[in-house]
A and B are shown apart, each in its own frame.
Chain A
Amino acid sequence: MKRMHVHVAVEDLPLSIGFYTALFDAEPAVVKADYAKWMLDDPSVNFAISTRGREPGLDHLGIQVESKTELHEVYARLRRAGGTVVEQGETSCCYAKSEKSWIDDPAGISWETFHTTGESISYGDGSGEREARVADAKACCTPQASDAPATASSCCK
């Protein structure tokens, strides 16, 4: 099963935890001093927030998979999508141990595809992540928030 992943940089962690707990009607699965994560089933989303960003906003998106087989299937998608794919390999970031790759989308948003294999007791240094996301100098473990303004667009569905 694949999960969407969202990582948002926030200023006020307790306030943000309150907001998303109410919005998702679910308690976070992980709460740290600088980080919180919801693992939702409906919709199937891994939604993370942290105070590690330089400014509030979207840090990155992603697709989380549950097996190496799925990971390689999604890696093949990245190659079809085009652009530069950076395979970071195994890393520790955001209190989790994962294997992941990065790609930037046409909106300039970084997407990670990853398979988490375990927990980590520290936020992690995201070894290799800075290089993996060198395209826009973002890094999961020292995230730089998206510079997209928070204005709403016209609606569209």
Chain B
Amino acid sequence: MKRLHLHVVVESLPDAIRFYSGLLDTSPCCGGGNYANWRVDQPPLNLAASLADRPAGIAHFGLEVENPAELTTIDRVLHRHARTPGNIPWEVSVRKQPIREETRS
């Protein structure tokens, strides 16, 4: 099962944890001092919120796959495009292990 991945930058992590835990009806699975992560099956979502030295908003989208073989096709697509639509970077990763991040804009 693939999950959509969203990484958002927020100004207050406690506010973000309260909001997204309510919205997704679950607590973060993991996190740290400036980061929290929710993994949800219904809908399939890997949501990350972090503090960062940049304005709040979407940082990137991603697809989280279970099988490394699935990366090949997606990677090929991302490599072919010099620019992602909407100027939002896409990341592809195998579950729990980031592979690389697209930073095109």
Contact = CB atoms under 8 A, between A and B. Distances in A.
A42 B2 CA distance: 6
A157 B98 contact: yes
Interface stretch (A16-24, A27-35, A122-130): A16-24
Contacts of A152: 59-60, 89, 91, 101-103
A77 B1 CA distance: 25
A16 B85 contact: yes
Contacts of B25: 77, 80
Contacts of B98: 155-157
Contacts of B86: 8-10, 16, 49, 56-58, 145, 150
A50 B15 CA distance: 31
B90 to A, nearest CB: 7
Contact of A149 (B43, B54, B80): B54
A106 B16 contact: yes
Contacts, number: 171
A109 B20 contact: no
Interface residues of A, number: 55
Nearest to B61: A6
B59 to A, nearest CB: 4
Contacts of A80: 22, 25
B22 A157 contact: no
A2 B61 contact: no
A148 B10 CA distance: 11
A15 B8 contact: no
Given A22-B80, A77-B23, A148 B93 contact: no
Contact of B22 (A2, A82, A155): A82
11 contacts: A4-B4, A20-B85, A42-B1, A43-B1, A43-B44, A64-B43, A80-B22, A105-B20, A146-B58, A151-B103, A151-B105
